[in-house]
Amino acid sequence: MLVEKEKFVEAVKKAIEEAKPRNFVETVEMAVNLKNVDMKKPENRIDAVVALPHGIGKPRKVAVFARGDTALKAKEAGAFVISPEDIDELAKNKRKAKKIAKEYDFFIAEAPLMPEIGKKLGQILGPRGKIPMPIPPASDPTPHIERLRKSVKIRTRDRVTFHAPIGSREMEPEKIADNALEILKVVENKYENPQQNVKSIYVKTTMGPAVRVV
């Protein structure tokens, strides 16, 4: 384990204590700074979706490209549904497509729709890290939607730092720490000697000061 849970709990408590009260519920975020990793090599970059044990205090927003039964089930599960016809409309209306890409955290798509989505919306979804997760046609998207509602995406691209939301200041520090440790598992599984690859870890509320964990 890269960091003991107790260390995270202490840092989260301190970050919340030191943050001034705001008129909205602040998110608690973590920043991980890596070292001794050549990010010019794509194989060293991190690009992962992590299901957090306790979510981040509010459900993430999920959109589903689907038709028929899958679309119906996605709607019942509370997701935003984008039909095949909508893909054409969004391809013509880039402003609307960008708005949807910004508004929704995760996208799912029936596998047969993926080539069309890539061709018509890839330029908008790709750079934002929002390429849909493919699922079999006519399958039930509900389990995927439920999992993504508690998930976060971490991407380093070519940088040695990544940020991730790990909860809200209303959550118990212990639960926030559990979420943080789940994200660190990605680093542990990615590199051969993760202890040699983590330079520092910080936690903070949206507008509060950063507190060093390690």
Domain boundaries, the chain: 5-57+152-212, 62-148
pLDDT at position 29:
98
Query: Which CATH code fits 5-57+152-212?
Result: 3.30.190.20
* Cα–Cα distance, 190 to 121 (Å, whole number): 30
Q: What CATH number has the domain spanning 62-148?
A: 3.40.50.790
* Neighbour-count burial for 79-98, b at 16+ CB within 10 Å, e otherwise: bebbeeeebeebbeeeeebe
**Residue 1: its pLDDT value, please?**
84
Torsion angle in degrees (nearest 10) through CA of 196, 197, 199, 204: -130
Q: What is residue 179's predicted lDDT score, i.e. its pLDDT?
A: 98
pTM for this model (two decimals): 0.92
Taking 70 as the pLDDT cut, the residues of the chain under it are none
